[in-house]
Every structure is written in structure tokens, then in C-alpha cells.
Amino acid sequence: MSVLARNNVVLSGAPGAPAMVFAHGFGCDQSMWRFVAPAFEATHRVVLFDHVGAGGSDLGAYDPQRYGSLDGYADDVVEVLDALGLGPAVFVGHSVSAMIGVLAAARRPELFDRLVLVGPSPRYVDDDGYRGGFSAAEIDELLETMDDNYLGWSAFIAPVIMGNADRPELGEELTNSFCRTDPAIARRFARTTFLADNRADLAGVTTPALVLQCREDVIAPPEVGRYVHEHLAGSELVLLDAVGHCPNLSAPDQVVEAVTAYLARVPSR
Amino acid sequence: MSRPADDAWDVAPVALLRLDGDGTILDANRVLVEWVGRDPQGLRLSDLLSVGGRIYWETHLSPLLHMQGRVDEVAVELRGPDGRVPVLLSAAVHAAADGTRCVDVALSRATERSRYERELLAARAAADRSADQLRALQAATASLSRGVGTDGVARALVETAVTHLGAAVATVWLAAEDGTLVRRATSSGDRAPEGTDVPDEPWAPAPRRADDAPRVPAQPVEEHLAGVVVVALGAPDAPAGTLVLSPRDEPFDVGVLTAVGQQAGLALERARMFDQKASVAHELQHALLTTHLPPDDRFSVTTEYRPGVQALEVGGDWYDAFLVDDDVLAVAVGDVVGRGLHAATAMGQLRSAVRAVAGPDVGPAALLSRLDRFVTQTGAGFMATLAYAEVDLVTGHVRYACAGHLPPLRFRGDGTHEFLWEGRSTPLGLGVDREEAVAVLDPHDVLVLYTDGLVERRDRPLPDGLHALATAGRALGDGSVSDLVTGLLVRAGDVRDDVCVLVASWTPRSS
């Protein structure tokens, strides 16, 4: 199976225009970008994909060892970009995919033009002098809940999702997407995500980056966004007047505006 | 939609909340306040949930509400004063009177349902485990059945341990004749994480107690420190050996390992019988090929026989060398069609027949005609091929004939070579006129007779094989025939035929 099929890569936008890749975070799939990505189709070749294990990706390609660390996901991003051959891309990563983009850009800088990191966190667990937002005990509780007590986590991995009477096409699409989430893979992805410590990797990035941070976010609190900005040379931090971890859904207009302004302000390399 | 009357709101049989567009709680009924034991106003809904629920709300539920406006029957847990409260959450988005986005949430208790679901999940986990066990066992059994010979089974065992049984490192120790355990196979170890190496010892089962103590039955699987296990191969009381495993990440399944140990015991028993049979077959072949030549400083004959890879079946290749009279050396290499005992028997008959019909006044062509008669009368060796040559040890004249066989190869002292393509006729048993030819050797020339297994391979044409032999043969002056054969076969791969090679050199006595 080709890399593009493995990651369910979907292309849209202007052929021949600079590439803009959107990477979804933990929990959902590429549909997370449905209110943001279309705004860039006039100016960019827009690339959407699903991480292996999510959405329409090839679940058979899921290898617990490869995806036991974020490096495996970063390898996938590099492979997708190599396979597309669209030149240096603007990489927009949400949540854990922000760090996946950081790893990939450190490894293959020539593939990345600029980075947009939405709600990034290099480490979720508090550490000496570092506040990640979760105590080690809380993450343990989360992983324990997921590992031992199936309920409380993965019973809602497959919730009964009702279609929206006004937009039935959304309901069906999401139901499909969510039903495809294998609970065992979701648990492993959570473990990989929430136990990762990629703080040291920030120093290896030379690509210009925009950090988008919500004013309130229990998953990646503002101080974490600031930490990323301070440790990422040549990065900019923009605080969104939004609450929650998914401004791409709750405040898509702000996200589009901030990214558009950044791309206009910081020239392509 | 306006907030319901206070009574209905507070006495509802479910917890009700209204959130603003950001998920902050605007209002909650009394049921919720009782469940969470505090006033939730101003908090966000996710603050009331367990960590798992909080992350799930932020990463799944909130996005869903944004995309489709509604979620139903999602199981989460509230953090209450007396511990967690399992609830089912339903939520719908609607526009408030001022046009802003609101979310109405209903939570109903799910304690009983969650207990029931836990039981279901436990049952499913047990079923998954059974299926995993079955798959591992099937894979192990299939892998063991493919192992050929004791070493093949030992290798199959360590491979299956690493690929299917969750081992980081696997080692097979088998009992030698004196009862000591000898290491026979170890996994490649590429996958072994640091520090999980199995100690370099056989980890034999603990020594038996003295006879007067009650007998403790040996365990089929013994667990040691650091998760290392020792699996008895065959009956735990008298195992054929042990399989020593260190775990990759999860503890081993003792039930599966016990069954694999039993299967491996049977496979080793079969392999041992196979090894014995193979050994008998090869001894038989060796005995049939024995050649006794009187010591003579005018010639030297070196031979090499290599059985094919499917080792049990003996083949029909043979060589022979004998003196036809005091000054004539006969050399022969032949190949009977087919494999197995039938071919080996025919080979033995034909080889004896060559010696019987050869004589001072016969010569190669007449010898082939006599062999034709023999084959027709006995039926043994029909379509066999044969290269036969008689070397005059005084003059160096060689009379030779090939019945359907590959041409003899002559190397000269200066390193040049020549295939003797003349004297050719059909394989034995077809009763045609037989041809022979003559070549003249120079002193120290070397004559090479061989069977097709040395030069024929599926992946290249015959001329390339002959060329490879001619090239490699130049080194014969320095190296041994064995080295030559090994060098030519090293790239032949797993599917190769028997090989017979005979090398004769001539050194005339100085007059």
C-alpha cells in the first residue's frame, strides 16, 4: 500500500501553488480542519491526511513499535511529503501533531517552509520547574483508566453519535470516522501522546514557526504555549481569544486570520 | 428555549446543565450539585470530570458538538465527594435568545449499566485472550512443522518465540547424548532491548530432590527472575531440551507456552527420527561410492560428493575410478534419473556394471553399448547419463565418451582449459551407436568430470555455469576440490541438487 493511501492523503486547492499540510491531533481525524483548510485553497495546494490508526488511514499499517513514540508519526509525515514532492510546505499541526511537525522539521528542514503549531505541548506532565498541566498521578490515572478500566475511557470511543438533522452529511461522516477508531490503537496513541517529552527537540528546529494558543486550554495551558515559543528560535506567539483545546473548531475564523496574517508577515524561506 | 420552571428543573431525575459556547457552566440543577458536592457555576464542565473524561471532552466531545451540534449517550465519570460517579452524557447545541451559542447537557446515572458493561468488557477481554492464544499456538505449530531436522526445529522454535510468543530473546538448549544441555539455536537478538539478554546458561530445571523426599512433579514452564521462563520441550519429567525466553514487554502466557513445549517435544522426536534416517541414507550412499585405488605415482584422483539440500532423499549421482589394466586408469561420473532409494539402487547397479563390463580391449564406445544392453535387460538406470574416460598412464592418451552427460573439462598446466565436447551420444538404454573420442594430455594436466548439480542453476543459463566452473577450476592447482565445490555452490541457494565431482591428474614417470 502506498504511503498516500496508508495516511488517507487528500489533496485540494490550487495545483502548483505552495503546499500547506494540515495534521490533526489526538482524538479525531482530518475533518478537524473542515472550517479552516478551505480558507487556504485559493492560495495553496492543501494537503489533508489521517495519522495511521485514525479516520480513513490503513489500520493494518499500525505497528505498535513504530507508533510507540512520536518519531514514528514524524517519519510518516516525512514520507508523505517525500511522496508528494510538492516542495517546502507550510505545516499546520494541531495538538500532538504540532510536536510531530517539530520532530519532522528538525529531521528534514528542507521539507518545511514554515510551521503553525496550534495548542502545542512538548510535555503534558509537570516536571521540576515545568508546568505541563497534568500531574504525573493524573496521567497515570488516565492511562490506568484506559488500560485497566475500559469504561471511563474507551466506552465513549464509540459513542452513539446522532446525525445533525440540519447537516446529516456531517453526522454520517463522523460516525464512520469514529467507528473506525480502534480502541486498542486509541489507547496506545494516548499513551504515546501523554507520556512524550519532546522539550529537548524544540532546539533542533530552524524553521520559522507560529504558536497559536487559546487563552484557556486545560490540555495545553497558556504557559505551555509560551514555553514552546520561548524555546523555539524565531517563533511567534499569538494568543487567541478562545477557550478549549480545539480553536480550529471553536474559533476557526480567528485561526484563519492569525495564520493568514502570519504567512503574509513572515516571508517564505 | 428558556430555562424550565425551577421545580421541574431541580426535581428532574437527571442532572441538567447549561453551558455557554466555551463550555463554562451557566446553570446547573440541584441533582448535579448533589452529585459533585459543590457549586459548579463558573466552572467548565470538563472540570467536573475525571482526567480521562476531561481529556475526552476536550479532544472528542467538544469538537463533535462544534461539528454536528449533538452527542448522545457518552459514558464519562463525574468526580464526586465520595468518588467517581459513572454517568451517561447527552448534549445538544442551540442558540440562546440573544443568538449566542449554548449547550444543554443531561447526565443520567449509569452505575448499574457501567457494572454490566465492565462484565461485558471482561468477557470480551477473555475471548480476545483465547483468540490470541489460539493464534499463537497455530502459528507455533505451523512453524514447527516446517522445521527440517533437529536444527531446523530448534531454529523454528526460537523464531516463533520471537514473532508469535512475545519473546525478546529465545534460546533452545537440547539434551546431548550424555544428558548435558547444549545450545542449539538463539534468536537473532535484533529486537532485544538492553539488559534483557537471557543469561548464557541453559537454565535447566531445578535439580530433583533425593529419592526419599516426596517427588515434586517437574513444571512444564518454570518462571525465573526478570520474567525469564524455561519451557520444557516434551514431557517435563524427561524433556528433550528447554526453551529459555525473556519477555519483550508483557509476561508470558504459561498456558500457551506449555502447549508449545509439548508440540516442540513431538516435533523434536520426529526431527530426531528424520536425522537418523537421513544419516542412514547418507551412510548408504557413502558406502556405495567408496573407491579403492592402488597407490600409483602416475596419477591422483580426488572426489567430492555433496548431497542435495532436501537431505533425507539420497540421489542417483555417482563417481568411480579404477584400473582397467596396469597402465590404464578409468574414471567415470554418472547420474541416474530420479531420487530416493530406487535411484540409489539403480546407481549402485550401474556403477558395478561399469566395472564389470570394462576391460583392456573394450574401450569407451563398446562399454556404453554393453551398458545399453544391461539397462535394457534389467530396467535399472534407463536414461541415466555417464561420462567415461580411460587415461593411458604412459602416453597421456585419453579415450572418452559421454552418454548424454556434460563434457569433461581439461585444464592445462598453463591455466588454459578445454571442454571435451566430442564422443557424444544419447543417455543409456536407447540402444544407438556409441561414439568415442580421443584427447592427449600433457604432463600435469587435470581432467574434471562432474554432474549437472555443479553447474546448473535455475537462475542462469548452462553456458554461464560452465564458464563459472572453468574460471573457478583454474585455482585447482592451489586449492582443494572441496574448496572448488564449496565455492561454486555457495551461491546456489536452498534448492540444489546432489553434486559429484571427480578430478584426475596425470604425471608421467620420467623415462
Segment among A77-91, B259-273, B458-472, B487-501 with least mean pLDDT: B487-501
Structural domain of A224 = 3-124+198-265
* Chain B partners within 8 Å of A149 (Cβ): 118
**pLDDT tier, B247 (very low <50, low <70, confident <90, very high otherwise):** confident
CA–CA dist B423, B390 (Å, integer) = 13
Beta strands in B248-327 (DSSP E): 299-306, 317-325
- By CB atoms closer than 10 A (0-12, 13-18, 19+), residue A183 is middle
What is the mean pLDDT of the segment spanning B336-356?
A: 86
Nearest by Cα to A114 from A228, A205, A5: A205
Q: Average of pLDDT values for B354-372? A: 93
Residue B499 has pLDDT above 90, yes or no: no
Domain of B266, CATH number, reads 3.30.450.40
**pLDDT reported for residue A51:** 94
Q: Which residues 90-109 of A are in CB contact (within 8 Å) with B?
A: 95
The region, left, alpha or beta by phi > 0 then psi within -120 to 50, assigned to residue B12 is beta
B259-296 pLDDT, tens digit each: 999 989 999 988 888 888 777 767 777 777 877 888 88
The tally of domains found in chain B comes to: 3
Tell me: do B306 and B250 sit in the same domain: no
- Section B169-174 average pLDDT: 88
- The domain containing residue B151 runs over which residues? 129-205+219-279
Does the residue B85 lie in any domain? yes
Cα separation, B29 vs B11, in Å, equals 8
B114 is a domain residue: no
Residues B229 and B355 in one domain: no
Q: DSSP states of B142-195 as a string?
A: HHHHH--HHHHHHHHHHHHHHHTS-EEEEEEEEE-TTS-EEEEEE---TTPPTT
Q: How many domains does chain A have?
A: 1
A170 at interface of B, judged by CB pairs closer than 8 A? yes
On whether ipTM exceeds 0.90, the answer is no
Instruction: Mark whether B386 and B410 lie in a shared domain.
Output: yes
Which chain B residues contact residue A191 at CB under 8 A? none
Task: Work out the mean pLDDT of chain B and round it to a whole number.
Answer: 83
Inter-chain CB proximity B67 and A249 less than 8 Å: yes
SS3 at position B356: helix
| Domain CATH code at residue B86 | 3.30.450.20
Answer yes or no: do B306 and B254 share one domain: no
Residue B135 and residue B90 in one domain: no
Are residues A143 and A153 in contact, defined by beta-carbon separation less than 8 angstroms? Answer: no
Residues of chain B in contact with residue A166, where contact means CB-CB under 8 angstroms, are 69
pLDDT band at B342 (very low <50, low <70, confident <90, very high): confident
In a domain, A147, yes or no: no
Q: Confirm whether A171 is domain-assigned.
A: no
Identify the CA nearest to B368 among candidates B348, B387, B344. B387
Instruction: Identify whether A110 is part of a domain.
Output: yes
Instruction: Give the model's pLDDT for residue B73.
Output: 78
Can you tell me the mean pLDDT for A13-32?
91
Helix-helix angle B340-357:B363-378, to 10 degrees: 140
Q: Is residue B444 part of a domain?
A: yes
Which helix H or strand E contains B440, and what residues bound it? strand B437-440
CB distance A152–B86 less than 8 Å? yes
Helix (H), strand (E) at residue B36:
helix B30-36
Residues B172 and B41 occupy one common structural domain: no
Contacts of B114 in chain A (CB under 8 A): 151
Name the DSSP letter for residue B280.
Answer: H
- CA of A29: which chain B residue's CA is closest? B60
Residue B212 within any structural domain of the chain: no
Tell me how far apart the alpha carbons of residues A67 and A53 are, in angstroms, rounded to a whole number. 9
Q: What is the CATH number of the domain that holds A234?
A: 3.40.50.1820
Return the residue of A nearest to B51 by Cα. Answer: A142
Q: Pick from B63, B114, B118: which is nearest to A27 by CB?
A: B63
- CB-based contact, A148 to chain B, within 8 Å: no
Chain B residues touching residue A162 (CB < 8 angstroms): 68, 70-72
Residues B382, B179: Cα–Cα separation, whole Å: 49
Whose grid coordinates read 457552566? B25
The whole-angstrom distance between B402's CA and the closest CA on chain A is 54
Dihedral angle over CA of A110, A115, A117, A121, nearest 10: 30
- Decide if A176 is inside a domain: no
- Phi, psi angles (nearest 5°) of residue B308: -65, 175
Q: Is residue B73 part of a domain?
A: yes
| Residue A80 belongs to some domain of the structure | yes
Contact A161 B64 (CB under 8 A): yes
In B112-130, which positions are buried (b, 16+ CB within 10 angstroms) versus exposed (e)? ebbeebbeebeeeeeeeee
- A139, part of any domain: no
Is residue A174 one of the residues assigned to a domain? no
Q: Judge: B55–A142 Cβ closer than 8 Å, yes or no.
A: yes
Comparing A58-67, A200-209, B108-117, the range with the smallest average pLDDT is B108-117
Nearest to A208 by CA among A182, A184, A234, A185: A234
Average pLDDT over chain A reads 85
B244 and B386 co-located in one domain:
no
The residue among B381, B320, B326, B383 whose CA lies nearest residue B356 is B320
> What is the pairing mode between strands B167-175 and B241-247?
antiparallel
The least confident of A101-110, B85-94, B119-128, B150-159 is B119-128
Residue at A134 is within a domain = no
B414 occurs within a structural domain: yes
Provide the number of CB pairs (under 8 Å) joining chain A to chain B: 119
Whether the CB of A88 is below 8 Å from some CB of chain B: the reply is no
Is a pLDDT exceeding 60 seen at residue B251? yes
The model carries a pTM of 0.56
Of B231, B250, B279, the last residue of a domain is: B279
Q: Which of A119-128, A197-206, B2-11, B466-475 has the lowest mean pLDDT?
A: B2-11
Catalytic residue list of A: 95, 217, 245
B68 contacts A178 by C-beta, under 8 angstroms: no
Whether A170 shows a pLDDT value over 80: the answer reads no
Residue B124 lies in a domain: no
Domain boundary among B246, B279, B312: B279
Nearest to B302 by CA among B455, B472, B446: B446
Question: Are both B342 and B480 inside the same structural domain?
Answer: yes
A78-103 tens-digit pLDDT: 999 999 999 999 999 999 999 999 99
